[in-house]
Structure 1
Amino acid sequence: MSKANILIVEDDKEISRLTAMYLEAEGYSSHIINDGLQAVTAVRLEQPELVILDLMLPGLDGVSVCKQLRKFYQEPILVLTACSDDISEVSLLKLGADDYLTKPVRPHVMLARIEALLRRSHPVTPSQNQLQVGLFNIDTNKQVVSYDNLTLVLTTAEYDMLLLLASHAGTIVSREDCCRALRGIDYDFNDRSVDMRISGLRKKLNDDTPPYKTILTIRNKGYMLING
């Protein structure tokens, strides 16, 4: 089952093709539009959950498309800009964009931004806001975590990391998936940001001396939260 329907508005055929392939490999459905005038009509008809919008378009430029969409479209708009585009982050956000990326776009970074935007636009409903795993109780509505009846004080990145591990308790979560929980950090396999968040969590669980009992390191694979 598809995660969400994403409209790609991009006139570079190779970029749009590769973007669609990557999104569909991750479980999203996508549709490509290569003209600004057609984009507005396509959004009205399809009502996608998110729009990826290039600024340099034939027919109607991306800035104008964004302005028109915001008259009726409330879902996230992720803008793609070239380094030479004479428009600031503040200007993009004022136009109605929810986030932006500068080309060339790295696929894993784009995916992390998309997932973060979709989480914010479709928050967890109250009926789904309690996650109980072993000694953990996670209120996903309030973003409050308790462990063995004690409330943990977590950073946003630590909370997102723990929620990912708890949602897959008892199974290995890859480093790349852990990276995506950090809401779009610029990550490569030499980056130590994931390890830092795991280390921070372990300290707050009083489990920062090997052998670890709560969050295990699975060599060359990732991490696993013990379900017990």
Structure 2
Amino acid sequence: MAKANILIIEDDKEISRLTAMYLEAEDYLTQIIDDGLHAVNAVRQHQPDLIILDLMLPGLDGIEICKQVRTFHTGPILVLTACADDMSEVSLLKLGADDYLTKPVRPHVMVARIEALLRRTQVAQPAKNQLNLGQLHIDTSRQLVSYGEITPQLTAAEYEMLLLLASNAGCIVSRDDCCRSLRGIDYDFNDRSVDMRISGLRKKLNDDTPPYKVILTVRNKGYMLIDG
């Protein structure tokens, strides 16, 4: 049985061929799209567990694809860039990307990043399928979230961050714990990246103006979700 279904959006045929070959050797299913104009529909059609997205594409570039895909797809997006200066990490996070790699990509690093991203979406769920905290309701079996009348569309990273905070409601969750939740203990995920996810959550929960009512920042310690 395949580990996951991965959609590769890359116009360089040799890179996409080698990427697919390496991933299939690791028991992943792959599909390849080489034209940006067909990428968004391909995501809808294949409903991949993870997307590998090149930024430089014919027809429609990776930036626009990422924006459009994030309106309906919540799975991880791993961006490939020609150089680290193409876009800042903050810009990529704002677009909805979950991680990025600079070309030339080292296959073992790519697989490690993919495994970390998929672990985040397949993390063991709490014993109960419903997590209810005041106006916040999380259906962990379907990964659905509602807050009062709001039903926010969260990315995989935002959902996992919210689930971590909700599972520890009323308690401070350290930045280190947030980092491990996002990328795994083997990787150094910096505070700015965590802050971007928290900022995205606050905006989608209509809690992005201080004083915050849902997710509090505890200075020099971490974050805490209000219990109730």
TM-score by length of 2: 0.56
Q: In structure 2, what is the equivalent of residue 58 of structure 1?
A: 58
Q: In structure 1, what is the equivalent of residue 120 of structure 2?
A: 120
Matched residue pairs, number?
140
CA distance in 2 between partners of 1:13 and 1:182 (Å): 34
1:57 CA drift (Å): 0.2
Assess if the C-alpha contact under 8 Å between 1:116 and 1:183 holds in 2: no
Name the SS of the counterpart of 1:80 in structure 2.
strand
CA distance in 2 between partners of 1:58 and 1:105 (Å): 21
Assess if the C-alpha contact under 8 Å between 2:84 and 2:102 holds in 1: no
Name the SS of the counterpart of 2:87 in structure 1.
coil
CA distance in 2 between partners of 1:184 and 1:108 (Å): 14
CA displacement 1:88-146 (0-9 Å, x = unmatched) = 1110111000000011110011111101100111211346xxxxxxxxxxxxx99xxxx
1:182 CA drift (Å): 5.2
CA distance in 2 between partners of 1:29 and 1:107 (Å): 16
Residues 15-54 of structure 1 correspond to what in structure 2 (within 5 A)?
15-54=15-54
**1:86 correspondence with 2:93:** no
CA distance in 2 between partners of 1:63 and 1:116 (Å): 23
Gaps of 5+ in 1: 128-140, 143-154, 161-180, 186-228
Which has the larger Rg?
1
CA distance in 1 between partners of 2:13 and 2:75 (Å): 25
CA displacement 1:171-214 (0-9 Å, x = unmatched) = xxxxxxxxxx75458xxxxxxxxxxxxxxxxxxxxxxxxxxxxx
Assess if the C-alpha contact under 8 Å between 2:35 and 2:59 holds in 1: yes
Give 2:93's aligned amino acid: L
1:4/1:50 CA distance change after superposition, 3 Å: same
Q: In structure 2, what is the equivalent of residue 107 of structure 1?
A: 107
CA distance in 1 between partners of 2:84 and 2:100 (Å): 14
Gaps of 5+ in 2: 128-162, 165-175, 189-228
CA distance in 2 between partners of 1:22 and 1:38 (Å): 24
CA distance in 2 between partners of 1:26 and 1:78 (Å): 17
TM-score by length of 1: 0.56
Name the SS of the counterpart of 2:71 in structure 1.
coil
Assess if the C-alpha contact under 8 Å between 1:109 and 1:184 holds in 2: no
- Identical-pair percentage: 70
Assess if the C-alpha contact under 8 Å between 1:116 and 1:184 holds in 2: no
Runs of 4+ in 1 over 3 A off after TM superposition: 181-185
CA distance in 2 between partners of 1:122 and 1:27 (Å): 17
Q: In structure 2, what is the equivalent of residue 136 of structure 1?
A: none
Q: In structure 1, what is the equivalent of residue 69 of structure 2?
A: 69
Give 2:70's aligned amino acid: R
Assess if the C-alpha contact under 8 Å between 2:77 and 2:99 holds in 1: yes
Q: RMSD in angstroms over aligned alpha carbons? A: 2.6
Residues 79-228 of structure 1 correspond to what in structure 2 (within 5 A)?
79-83=79-83, 86-126=86-126, 183=186
1:4/1:73 CA distance change after superposition, 3 Å: same
CA distance in 2 between partners of 1:3 and 1:69 (Å): 22
